[in-house]
Copies of this chain bind each other. A is one copy, B any other.
Amino acid sequence: MPPQPGAAVARAFRGRGTCRFTSAYQANLFQTRAFGKQARRPQNPERKHDSPTQWLFPAKAVSRALSGRPLPQRRSFFLNFMYRSAAIFGTGVGFFGFLVAAFFIYDSTTYKETSFFGECRVSEFALSPRRGGPKNLPIIDALIDDDDTEAKRAQKQKPRLVILGGGWGSVALLKELDPDDYHVTVVSPKNYFLFTPMLPSATVGTLELRSLVEPIRRILSRINGHYVRAEAQDVEFSHKLVEVSQTDAHGKEMRFYVPYDKLVIAVGSVTNPHGVKGLENCHFLKDINDARMIRNQVMRNLELACLPTTDDAERRRLLSFVVSGGGPTGVEFAAELFDLLNEDLTIRFPKLLRNEISVHLIQSRSHILNTYDEALSKYAEERFARDQVDVLTNSRVKEVQSDKIIFTQKNEQGEVVTKELPMGFCLWSTGVSQAEFCKRIANKLGDSQTNRHALETDTHLRVAGTPLGDVYAIGDCSTVQNNIADNIISFLRGLAYKHGKDPENLELHFSDWRNVAADVKRRFPQAAAHLKRLDKLFGQFDKDQSGTLDFGELRELLGQIDSKLTSLPATAQRANQQGLYLAKKFNKMASAAPGMSANDIRDGDLDEACYKAFEYHHLGALAYVGNSAVFDLGGGWGLTGGIWAVYAWRSVYFAQSVGLRTRFLMMMDWMKRGLFGRDLVSF
């Protein structure tokens, strides 16, 4: 009988402190090495199934895999390695197969058989609304789905929150609002939220149009909200009614009133025409349909350029793509267009096209991305220069004709030269302007509204000139009034009168000034950054060195701070923050409401009593500039980079995306681009 080497070696290993559980295996391994030949020789016929084929027997393999019994060992490290790699691969594939099977089982439960609800309760008011208001229009006090569920029925007695628009501001508000506090109705002509920052990607097929939209009804379902597809036309502030319009099936315009307790205006902005003639020859990029039309036009130009009957000049014209406006939208569109032409066009279309294509970017300022850090905008310009995207700075478009664009360019000597550029496609993306509805509202509110570009609100986002706590405005359509000097002065003046003092003779000591500054910070959070060195400011404006500030000096001080405050940018980021702010405030107000009604508090500055003023935090800006991206982190910090930056840029938007569904779709689209390229198809 051979000696028992396994035991001996095991003991030796144990002596060296190896883990108890592995020692015996290692001993075994050692044994097969040291006494391999002898040990491998079958000692009796029953040992025959001690062979690799045993591993392939599935039932046993599965039972071993799940029972936790160890995997068999071969002598060779390489064999073991290969075997284990195969096992990992097999387990991976099996796991994947398990997921697929699980999905199919889940999927098969999502097909519903017929479901009728029998009789469903609908309020008589919802089916035949009463008429009223200044124009005697139908007033929709009740909606046809008000009684659909228990939760919706419970909301009927809650304050009516009406939100106009379905963009970034509204959706942020809807996502943050607590359910059951308000009866929420969204009024918007479009029944979807559009993820605007990715719109340039959708124009060339990097992303699909549908990946960027989320139905408003889906967003509303969490808070049991209601949606009315209509366009806001006017607001009757004293009646608390919004006048909306909708075209019926026969093309006739219907108008009706939507009553509100709180109204949020978030209707966004329209493209700024800058008074240029011939904009009907341009494309815009505000909506999903714009993206579709751009895609079709680009494809149409490419196809026409392929025809041998198209002459040389016409082909070059068709392939001349002009982008007017060097902001993020224009820059990203130019970058995406260039990607399409560079990555996909060359594979499928005649080479001649690639050589005759030109992309031009017309910018009125001296740099593109002029709101970004200068280093970043220079990086973008260099990137475009390398990609042969023609950047025309200091240029203003005068007129767009169907086949050319006329613009003036200031040359280095400061002379203004008029130039022409033949073009087959023009995108107009030169900033935003106020929507008709907002203009109408602003006119109605008269002197309270002095800004020509947006609805003015106070720092609690309440529209100036409307009853306190009734009407709010957020997003592109609004601007926060920072008239600190006037506000504070009139406040102090009132205070002085109240105390029987003559305000003109009022003198503020440093301690008074500190109180005033604290008040300013609270009411105008945006001013806080400019109120850091109070003593220095005091010294600077106390020109007569009296140790006190008089009214004139204080006004001058506050006026200087006013002048330093810039208006908030018209970005998704700002709208999002404002929406979140309003939601948090509304949640607070709803929870404070029972206490207030108990104490019979109905009027007054409830907003200020409940919640702090709105403060905008700039989180930075980013832009895709063609196989690379720039990140402006604010305060002079910035990042630029290649493919990794593109992935980072995507990650940011992936994270910001509105829900699981859009994330899934975006991921699939990016995967599709990687695997199959962009679809060069138009319809």
Contacts and interface: CB of A to CB of B under 8 A. Distances in A.
A94 B88 contact: yes
A348 B215 contact: yes
A25 B142 contact: no
A388 B249 contact: no
Contact of A68 (B84, B288, B299): B84
A342 B218 CA distance: 16
B682 A54 contact: no
Contacts of A325: none
A88 B65 contact: yes
Interface string A375-394: 00000000000111000000
A31 to B, nearest CB: 7
A113 B352 CA distance: 18
Nearest to A117: B351
Given A25-B70, A228-B306, A355-B120, A107 B674 contact: yes
Given A21-B73, A342-B115, A351-B148, A95 B103 contact: no
A80 B67 CA distance: 6
Interface string A301-318: 101101111111010011
Interface in A222-266: 227-230, 246, 248-250, 254, 256
A83 B95 contact: no
Contacts of A44: 17
- Quick one: copies of this chain in the complex? 2
A520 to B, nearest CB: 46
Given A249-B314, A310-B248, A672-B664, A221 B72 contact: no
A81 B67 contact: yes
Interface in A44-76: 44, 46-47, 49-50, 54, 65-74
A679 B95 contact: no
Contacts of A98: 92
B71 A68 contact: yes
Given A20-B50, A81-B66, A318-B249, A230 B307 contact: yes
Nearest to A49: B19
A93 interface: yes
Interface stretch (A4-12, A405-413, A440-448, A568-576): A4-12
B351 A19 contact: no
A175 interface: no
A246 B111 contact: no
Contact of A117 (B93, B94, B287, B354): B354
A347 interface: yes
A418 interface: no
Contact of A54 (B19, B308, B339, B679): B19
A563 interface: no
Interface centre among A24, A355, A661 (most CB of B within 10 A): A24
Nearest to A308: B140
Given A70-B71, A306-B228, A348 B217 contact: yes
B7 A111 contact: no
Contacts of A310: 248
Nearest to A141: B308
A599 interface: no
24 contacts: A4-B11, A6-B6, A10-B24, A14-B43, A68-B74, A68-B80, A88-B95, A92-B96, A93-B95, A108-B647, A110-B673, A112-B342, A140-B309, A191-B303, A191-B682, A208-B210, A213-B679, A215-B681, A217-B348, A246-B309, A248-B314, A254-B309, A256-B308, A660-B676
Give the top 7 A-B pairs by smallest Cβ distance, nearest first: A92-B95, A7-B7, A68-B80, A17-B46, A145-B350, A70-B70, A24-B28
